Amino acid sequence: MKRHWIDQFFAVSGSVFLASVSVILAAANVAQPASGQDVRTAPPSTSESTSVPEGINANFKSSELDVDEWIARFEVESREVYAARDEVLAACAIKPGDRIADVGAGTGFYSRLFAKRTGWDGWVYSVDISTSFLQHIADRATNEGIENLTTVLGTDTSIRLPPESVDLVFICDTYHHFESPQQTLASISRALKPGGRLILIDFERIPGVSREWLLGHVRAGKDAFKAEVIESGLRFVDEVKVQGFEENYLLRFEKKAK
User: What confidence tens digit (pLDDT) does each residue in 62-71 have?
Assistant: 989 999 999 9
d(CA 18, CA 131): 6
pLDDT over 90 at 190, yes or no: yes
What pLDDT is attached to residue 50?
60
CATH number at residue 69: 3.40.50.150
How far apart CA 212 and CA 206 sit, in angstroms, is 10
Q: Quote the pLDDT of residue 52.
A: 86
Burial degree of 7 (CB within 10 A; 0-12, 13-18, 19+): middle
What confidence tens digit (pLDDT) does each residue in 195-242 have? 999 999 999 999 999 999 999 999 999 999 999 999 999 999 999 999
Range of the domain at 152: 5-254
Using pLDDT thresholds of 50, 70 and 90, give the confidence band for residue 48: very low
* pLDDT given at position 214: 94
pLDDT of residue 43: 35
Q: Which long-range contacts (CB under 8 A, 24 or more apart) does 55-59 make?
A: 56/177, 56/179, 56/217, 57/31, 57/32, 57/33, 57/129, 57/156, 57/177, 57/179, 59/34
What would the mean pLDDT of 18-32 be, rounded to a whole number?
Answer: 35
Higher pLDDT, 100 or 35: 100
| pLDDT exceeds cutoff 70 at 100 | yes
32 pLDDT exceeds 90? no
Q: Please say if the pLDDT value at position 12 is more than 50.
A: no
Higher pLDDT, 56 or 252: 252
pTM above 0.85, yes or no: no
Helix (H, G, I), strand (E, B) or coil at 100: strand
Q: What distance lies between CA 49 and its chain's CA centroid?
A: 22
Predicted local distance difference test score (pLDDT) of residue 40: 33
Cα 188 to Cα 204: distance, rounded to the nearest angstrom: 22
Closest CA to 198 of 228, 174, 167: 167
| DSSP 8-state secondary structure symbol assigned to residue 57 | T
- Reduced to 3 states (helix: H, G, I; strand: E, B; else coil), residue 202 is strand
Q: What percent of the chain has pLDDT over 70?
A: 81
Give the mean model confidence (pLDDT) for residues 14-20. Answer: 38
Q: What kind and span of H or E run contains 253?
A: strand 248-254
Q: How many domains does the chain have?
A: 1
Whether 168 shows a pLDDT value over 90: the answer reads: yes
Measured in degrees and rounded to the nearest 5, phi and psi for residue 196 equal -70, 160
HEC sequence for 120-186? CCCEEEEEECCHHHHHHHHHHHHHCCCCCEEEEECCCCCCCCCCCCEEEEEEECCHHHCCCHHHHHH
- Closest of 72, 203, 79, 212 to residue 136, by C-alpha: 72
